[in-house]
Every structure is written in structure tokens, then in C-alpha cells.
């Protein structure tokens, strides 16, 4: 009878080991995914890895000077923008939005978004204070002077119009190339125009408004799912306790059963997560990228794909490390069980 009961207990323990293997692998994925996917530092690092802030002016310039797509018509302003070579727009945009301005803006926006997702804020916003300050910088005015220098020469009527508008206190800038002796008039116009434009730029822009009942319900559901992911390791931990109760009759049994459980759990976690990154990246490339606007620059598409890859790498890497650690601990426990068994035999 005792042998029968022990056999039943070991069978139950074996079932629990397999349950532990699946639950531990799932917990490794869920716990680490929640920690990483909702950490703004992961996305900041992904942007940094793609050299996004240095490449942003070039991407924006490429978008400004992109030719019209089939069936697309441009306004007179957009047509004038295309005339300016891409490298000149890049120079102007780099003066307006250098990395030292765009990086803190982006990182603050990411922090605000995730604070909203965490329930710490009711809205998410991006600060434009650094950009406004940069608009009034002489370097920005000089960048626009460089753009004017490649435009067609100003006519007398255009020069007169700019002069009279400045005298009237309502300076008007016309996209044309002024003569050298008129630069003294044009540059203050540009600085004044940029400063005036800066005053019209808000200090911050709200990215996410306070949601309605449906939005709040979705947000609460997301937070509930995150809580479940955070507490997912409790299930395999409890299974280890039950494995010990049903299978362990000595230190050797405890070490052997726990070692086997941890080894299988670590292996399953690594096997389960290994294909996630390539599958997700392939899905993004095949399903998402083709649906983006055709006018989007190829360089931006490349960056988006790189960011997705970097984010997935940031999620998968700690899961693989924790899986390896779990499997390694399992091997150590199995070795320890063998050593204890030999000592008991002698």
C-alpha cells in the first residue's frame, strides 16, 4: 500500500514538474516583457542605438524635399520647399533641432507617456521649451540665410516690399536671394520672424488627452494585465512547493526534483522566447511597413525597423539570460543531488 501511495505521489510530482516547466517559461516571458516593454529607457536606448537624434534633421529634410507621389498635388509653398536642396534643409533643421535639443524633448515625452500608462499622470505631453529657445538662436537665422542664398535673385519690387513691411513694423520675409548690401536688412527680418514664430509656439503639446470612459476602461484593463504579468512567477514558485511536498523524502529527492524542474523550465523558457524577436520583426516588415505612407522617407522606414529590432532585443535578451540562469541552477542542484546520494550510499 505504501509503495502504491509513493507511486501516486511521484506521478503527481512528475505532472507538477511539467506544469512547472510551462508556467516557469511563461513567467520568464511575461515578467520580463512587462518590466522591459513598459520602461521608457528601453525605447530611449533603441533610439540612441539607431543614432536617431543625429539623423532626425536629415530625415526631416528628405521628407520636405520628397517629390510628389502619383496623384498627389503640392501647394505653392510645398513646391517652393522642394526647390531647396535637401542638404540645405538639413543644415537649417540641424540648427533648429540639434541632438542636444531633440534628445531631452524625446526622452521627456517618453517619460510622460509611461507615467500616464502607470497611472501617475492623467495626460502625457511633450515640452517645446528647448525648441522655442533654439528658434531665437542666431545660428538658426544664419541657416535660413543660407537657404535664401540659393534662391532666385530678389527683384526690386520684392526688396521694396520687405523694406516697407519692416518700416511698418510687420516684417515680411520673401524667399529670394537678396544682394549682399541688403543682407543687413534681411538677417534682422529673419531673426525677428523666428522670434515672433517662437512666441506662437506653445510651451508644451499634449500628446494624450484625459480619456473618456472607454479609454479609461481600456487603460484599467491594461494595468490589470500588467499586474498579472508582474505576479506570474508566483505560480511556478507554488508548484515548486507542491513538488517538494509530493516527491521529497530526503535532501537528495528535494535537490533532484527541484533541479530537474528548474532545468526543464529554463530550457523551455529559452526555446519559447528564441523565435519571438525574428517573428515579430518579420511581421512588422511585412504587415506594418507596407501600410505606412508611400511618401515616408526610406531612411525613416529603416530607423523604425531598427527601433523595433532593438526593442525586441532588449526584451528577449534578459529572458534568455534568466532562462540560462534557471537552467544553470537546475544543473547545480542535480549535481548536488548526486553528491548527496553518494554520501548517503556510503
Count the domains in the chain.
Answer: 1
Separation of alpha carbons 159 and 341, rounded Å: 98
In angstroms, how far is the first alpha carbon of the chain from the final one? Answer: 29
Q: Is the dihedral of CA 243, 16, 30, 313 positive or negative?
A: positive
Q: What is the mean pLDDT of the chain?
A: 84
User: Cell for 8?
Assistant: 501516486
Cβ pair 177, 148 in contact under 8 A: yes
Out of 30-34, 135-139, 302-306, least confident range: 135-139
What pTM was computed for the model? 0.79
Domain assignment present for 248: yes
Return left, alpha or beta for 67; rule: phi > 0 is left, psi -120 to 50 is alpha, else beta: beta
Residues 6+ apart with CB under 8 A from 335: 259
| Inter-residue contact 313 to 239 (CB < 8 Å) | no
pLDDT digits (tens, 9 = 90+) for 230-256: 999 999 999 999 998 888 788 888 899
**If 0-12 CB within 10 Å is exposed, 13-18 middle and 19+ buried, where does residue 121 land?**
middle
- Domain of 280 in residue numbering reads as 2-128+202-345
Beta-bridge mates of residue 127? 204
The predicted-structure confidence for 135-153, as pLDDT tens digits, reads as follows 888 878 888 788 777 778 8
pLDDT over 70 percentage in the chain: 90
Residue 322 predicted with pLDDT over 90: yes
Classify residue 222: in a domain, yes or no: yes
* pLDDT tier at 168, thresholds 50, 70, 90: confident
CA–CA gap between residue 69 and residue 51 (Å, rounded): 28
Asked whether residue 27 is domain-assigned, the answer is yes
pLDDT in tens, 34-71: 999 999 999 999 999 999 999 988 888 887 777 766 65
Residue 134 contacts residue 98 (beta carbons within 8 Å): yes
- Classify residue 294: in a domain, yes or no: yes
Whole-angstrom CA distances from 119 to 106, 112, 232, 258, 323 are 20, 11, 21, 39, 31
Tell me which of 14-18, 94-98, 193-197 is least confident: 193-197
What is the pLDDT at residue 32?
92
314 within some domain? yes
Which residue carries 542666431 as its cell?
138
**Would 279 be classed as within a structural domain?**
yes
Q: Is 135 within a domain? A: no
| 318 within some domain | yes
Check pLDDT > 60 for residue 172.
yes
**What is the reported pLDDT for 108?**
92
Reduced 3-state DSSP string for the chain: CHHHHHHHHHHHHHHHHHHHHHHHHHHHHHHHHHHHHCCHHHHHHHHHHCCHHHHHHHHHHHHHCCCCCCCCCCCHHHHHHHHCCHHHHHHHHHHHCCHHHHHHHHHHHHHHHHHHHCCCCCCEEEECHHHHHHHCCHHHHHHHHHHHCCCCECCHHHHHHHHHHHHCCCCCCCCCECCHHHHHHHHHHHHHHHHHHHHHCCCEEEEECCCCHHHHHHHHHHHHHHHHHHCCCHHHHHHHHHHHHHHCCCHHHHHHHHHHHHHHHHHHHHHHHCCHHHHHHHHHHHHHHHHCCCCCCHHHHHHHHHHHHHHHHHHHHHHHHHHHHHHHHHHHHHHHHHHHHHHHHC
Amino acid at each position: 500500500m505504501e509503495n502504491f501511495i509513493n507511486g501516486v505521489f511521484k506521478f503527481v510530482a512528475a505532472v507538477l514538474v511539467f506544469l512547472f516547466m510551462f508556467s516557469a517559461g511563461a513567467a520568464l516571458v511575461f515578467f520580463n516583457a512587462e518590466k522591459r516593454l513598459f520602461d521608457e529607457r528601453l525605447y530611449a536606448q533603441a533610439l540612441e542605438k539607431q543614432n536617431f537624434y543625429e539623423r532626425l534633421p536629415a530625415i526631416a529634410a528628405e521628407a520636405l524635399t520628397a517629390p510628389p507621389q502619383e496623384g498627389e498635388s503640392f501647394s505653392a509653398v510645398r513646391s517652393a520647399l522642394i526647390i531647396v536642396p535637401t542638404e540645405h534643409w538639413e543644415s537649417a533643421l540641424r540648427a533648429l533641432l540639434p541632438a542636444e535639443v531633440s534628445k531631452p524633448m524625446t526622452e521627456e515625452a517618453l517619460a510622460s507617456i509611461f507615467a500616464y500608462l502607470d497611472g501617475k499622470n492623467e495626460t502625457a505631453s511633450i515640452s517645446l521649451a528647448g525648441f522655442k529657445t533654439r528658434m531665437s538662436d542666431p545660428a538658426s537665422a544664419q541657416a535660413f540665410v543660407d537657404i535664401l542664398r540659393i534662391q532666385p535673385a530678389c527683384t526690386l519690387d520684392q526688396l521694396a516690399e520687405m523694406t516697407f513691411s519692416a518700416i511698418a513694423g510687420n516684417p515680411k520675409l520673401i524667399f529670394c536671394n537678396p544682394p549682399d548690401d541688403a543682407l543687413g536688412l534681411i538677417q534682422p527680418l529673419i531673426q525677428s520672424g523666428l522670434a515672433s514664430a517662437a512666441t506662437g509656439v506653445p510651451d508644451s503639446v499634449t500628446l494624450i488627452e484625459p480619456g473618456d470612459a472607454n479609454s479609461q476602461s481600456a487603460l484599467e484593463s491594461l494595468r490589470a494585465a500588467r499586474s498579472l504579468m508582474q505576479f506570474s512567477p508566483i505560480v511556478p514558485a507554488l508548484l515548486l512547493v507542491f513538488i517538494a511536498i509530493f516527491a521529497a523524502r530526503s535532501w537528495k529527492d528535494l535537490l533532484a526534483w527541484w533541479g530537474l524542474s528548474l532545468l526543464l523550465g529554463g530550457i523551455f523558457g529559452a526555446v519559447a522566447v528564441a523565435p519571438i524577436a525574428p517573428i515579430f520583426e518579420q511581421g512588422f516588415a511585412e504587415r506594418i511597413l507596407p501600410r505606412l505612407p508611400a511618401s515616408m522617407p526610406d531612411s525613416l522606414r529603416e530607423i523604425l525597423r531598427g527601433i523595433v529590432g532593438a526593442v525586441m532585443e532588449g526584451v528577449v535578451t534578459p529572458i534568455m539570460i534568466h532562462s540560462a540562469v534557471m537552467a544553470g541552477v537546475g544543473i547545480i542542484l542535480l549535481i548536488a543531488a548526486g553528491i548527496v546520494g553518494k554520501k548517503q550510499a556510503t
